């Protein structure tokens, strides 16, 4: 005999998928900060101004999150949380993969930094929509007596994503030489 009634299995699976999507979203969102010194050399040519430009990209991403929350919140109300979450995850996946494939400053000059910042804006926009959408989705699908616990999982999942970003960026930096990091190694965590 199973621990939960069969009707709860799809709901449990949906909650797990929502939690995993939050892990991935916050992994990518915070990875940028942990690799900022490498990204400043790769996309902005190095130096203090390059690091400031890289960190400004992280700051700008915080401005995009509320816009993503508003836009995706409206989509979730209109078309359903599931479709909204799929759309935000798709946007994040495209932006994440595009980041890994970006040409560097050595190849296209300042355009590399501009493209990186645009992709960061897309990622932040999707994170704003995904996170608030997951919280709403979990609240709506959780059993009444467990809503507090279930919705707190979104916060826990975001922290797991951030911890994974720390671990993988630290491992990448520890294993690869600075030349390897600047050449191709920065792409691995993305």
**DSSP state letter for 47:** S
Say which residues have a Cβ less than 8 Å from residue 3's Cβ, sequence separation at least 6.
none
25: in domain: yes
Q: Are 1 and 138 in contact (CB under 8 A)?
A: no
Q: Is residue 117 part of a domain?
A: yes
Q: What is the CATH number of the domain that holds 46?
A: 1.20.1250.20
C-alpha–C-alpha distance, residues 157 and 81, integer Å:
18
Q: Domain for residue 4, yes or no?
A: no
Contacts of 68 (CB under 8 A, 6+ apart): 88, 124, 125, 126, 127, 128, 129, 130
User: pLDDT-based confidence at 178, cuts 50/70/90?
Assistant: very high
Mean pLDDT of the chain: 90
Range 38-63 average pLDDT: 92
Q: Distance between CA atoms of 141 and 132, rounded to whole angstroms?
A: 14
The pTM (predicted TM-score) of the whole model is: 0.83
pLDDT reading at 89 higher than 60: yes
CA-based torsion, 107, 111, 115, 121: positive or negative: positive
pLDDT tier at 12, thresholds 50, 70, 90: confident
Do the Cβ atoms of 141 and 11 come closer than 8 Å?
yes
Structural domains counted in the chain: 1
Please say if the pLDDT value at position 163 is more than 70.
yes
**145-159 pLDDT, tens per residue?**
988 888 888 889 999
Q: Is the pLDDT of residue 142 over 90?
A: no
Q: Is residue 172 part of a domain?
A: yes
Indicate whether 49 belongs to any domain.
yes
> Is 137 contained in some domain?
yes
For residue 60, is it within any domain? yes
| pLDDT tens digits, one per residue of 117-131 | 999 999 999 989 988
* Radius of gyration from C-alpha coordinates of the chain: 18
In a domain, 104, yes or no: yes
**Section 148-176 average pLDDT:** 93
Domain around 156: 9-187
């Amino acid at each position: 005999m199973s621990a939960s009634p069969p009707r709860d299995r799809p709901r449990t699976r949906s909650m797990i998928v929502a939690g995993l999507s939050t892990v991935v979203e916050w992994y990518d969102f915070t990875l940028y900060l942990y690799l900022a010194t490498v990204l400043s050399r790769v996309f902005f040519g190095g130096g203090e101004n390059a690091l400031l430009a890289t960190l400004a990209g992280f700051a700008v991403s915080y401005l995009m999150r509320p816009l993503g929350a508003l836009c995706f919140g409206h989509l979730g109300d209109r078309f359903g949380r599931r479709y909204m979450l799929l759309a935000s995850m798709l946007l994040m996946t495209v932006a994440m993969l595009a980041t890994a494939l970006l040409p560097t400053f050595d190849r296209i000059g300042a355009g590399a930094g501009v493209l990186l910042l645009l992709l960061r804006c897309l990622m932040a926009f999707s994170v704003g929509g995904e996170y608030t959408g997951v919280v709403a989705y979990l609240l709506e699908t959780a059993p009444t007596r467990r809503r507090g616990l279930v919705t707190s999982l979104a916060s826990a999942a975001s922290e797991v994503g951030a911890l994974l970003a720390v671990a993988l960026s630290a491992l990448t930096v520890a294993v690869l030489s600075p030349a390897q990091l600047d050449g191709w190694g920065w792409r691995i965590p993305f």
